[in-house]
Amino acid sequence: MRSTSVYLAGPMRGYPEYNFPLFFKVTEKLESLGFIVHNPAARDIVSDGFNPKKDQAKELKHYMYYDLPMVCTSDMLVVLPNWEFSQGARLEVHVANECKIPVYPVELLLNGTIKGV
């Protein structure tokens, strides 16, 4: 059986270390449950060499160029707490909704309501 791919959407700007620690903590937990996780924080580090402890974020357009295709190739989008206050996460949720990709709060996956495999 194929594992379910998940795109993580959540706030970054205005959070310590751009909220990367939460993105990685949730990624680790979801992967342990059998999900394939598309983590935009990991992409920023690997592709851009972004260091959340010292670098400044680029324009939103830069991130959406990479992140929206990941949304479109995922089986579902999972939102982190306070996602609704993030311009990028709101765009990602909008695209997922328009593409009929299910959107779930992370708590539903972590408590086992939605299964990964």
- Kindly report, residue by residue over 34-67, the tens digit of the pLDDT: 999 999 999 999 988 899 999 999 999 999 999 9
- Kindly report, residue by residue over 11-25, the tens digit of the pLDDT: 999 999 999 999 999
Phi, psi of 27 (to 5 degrees): -60, -45
- Kindly report, residue by residue over 77-108, the tens digit of the pLDDT: 999 999 999 999 999 999 999 999 999 999 98
Domains, the chain, with CATH or none: 5-110 (3.40.50.10400)
**DSSP structural state of residue 83:** G
CA-based angle 31:47:24, to the nearest 5? 30
Give the pLDDT band (50/70/90) at residue 116: low
Q: Record the pTM.
A: 0.92
Are 75 and 50 contacting, i.e. CB atoms less than 8 angstroms apart?
A: no
Asked if residue 3 has pLDDT above 90, the reply is no
Torsion of CA 12, 15, 21, 22, to 10 degrees: -70
